Structure 1
């Protein structure tokens, strides 16, 4: 079993000082994770030794780059349990992956009056694309409520299914509450009424084992930068029989088999959805990140995060005036959002930054969820495989300093 100290040694940024004598305490992994040397060096080697465009060239560099790019796709497919690498589409991020589904599948298969079910805890990335499509096509959006215990109201969901939705799209884990939703049950119930499902896996795939076949999800979207990989690349998983029926999302190079002056023939999967020169180095870096996570072990990562979260909640409860937003530890991942009585979340985050502690303050791209609880913003501490109990202790000490400053 890997020790946190051994893991932390592989992340150079965790050993820097944010100002003289103030070491970094990074508690913002829900926004983006830090990168291990294994990923950094893999991308550097690509640029040093094999930088070339892919799929088009027959020279050595092009063939090496293409092989590394597609090998990374194979790694991702294996990591999430896809039946084929053809079901793994490279995108820029989770947001683009969801927009791809909305603009390709949604535009072709949804019609005025059709129902899409979402939840009240969605990130804007899984709200706005559907709002835009609903406005364009006259669709109806319905929402699974969040209960007072910060879990989804599945009884209300079952009632909403009587509307015979065409799609149920939901976050696997809330980036604000940390709530881990019962994805397998939500998907099963959706399929019983003939709906497709889209899972926002941005906060789940990096943190605990996710097998798309076991879930029986139709689409899953996630980002490399939240799972120790680089920014600028994400993944859309889709069942092949569904992706085959969807039209291309973007037009240009590499997504075609044949182009005429007035028409074109799209490429086969997965290239049909990957127009233009892609993020080659980033894809290869994602492959290295997958290797790293598998070496550590996804089960270990999940267990470690739960232990850190439980410890953090216990320690933070010692700080007067904090109000927490999220369910019991057994239902949540490594995210703790809170408010401090009498102090704005941005002030909390700014003072913590003076102590070298990086947290996030704001609505976390989930404004409707904050509106539900009648608050403009929260402060969020989020953990990952490299987070330590010592960092939690520093967070508590920092919050006590906030209290002392604000009386």
Structure 2
């Protein structure tokens, strides 16, 4: 098999196989291994850290080290300094990894890939859940990821950040969008409502709801209501068609209005009026144009959520839940919290880091054969006991 064949296997290749590791690591690390083997191997200790505060999410990296150690018959000791789900300060060593220099040199690239992004995404998920502690979140990262490896990493990260928030009383992330990553959230199956494509296929929002309920009668009915631009009209039509489901809290209306228009019946002036009725302080506290757009702008704004709650309650459907999606980042969640938006569930993949440069984990050797040594300026990475 050629080098190109190895690379072409992608996620199907064994990530602990030596040829796969060699293909995917930086060339200068492979050359380092050859030099070290020529002049004599040494036992080294690496310190691994990030330059920004994060939530510790090291499990994928640790599992990979263990798989490599088992498959290659090498001794790798990975000591995690901050347990999974705990806060890690900027520059604090998250892990110390000790073993053969020849081996660890070739593992650095792949190890860092599995740590940095997960820690930052976990931090984002934690912040989202803490901003809206009474809201249930659903992880919808899959369609925004570059393949399953990234999807698996991001779902894991969301679960870690969520559990950290749940320890502080938040509801957090209760599931993911597909079966493959459901286990991270303690569920057997993926969660979800219905896609816009099904509504288009059915020809009307009500017909899509009827089709869904006929095939899945035991499931709660979560209806996507923005396809025809009649969020209010179609939500009420579905509720009136299924009054028993609405009365027992088994209907949810999902708002996914895109940023090119307002929710049915809203415009800038009426959006301001909605928030004046329910959360006047939020309009006076916004700090940027982006925050203002989250409150009264197009798409799924705080005003849109409040307006949907108004019309549902006025029509006699107080138990119908509101599900929101569309760009719910940390910042948008904070704005929703400030406006006390009455949202029950949020579907989001926006815990994926926006600035990928923030996810870069770094590794430096801090000891050779037990003797502390690190490049100038990184002395803070040395173990306090001198090891």
TM-score band w.r.t. shorter chain: under 0.3
TM superposition score normalised by structure 2:
0.23
| Bigger relative CO (Cα 8 Å, ≥ 6 apart) | 1
- Say which one has the larger Rg: 2
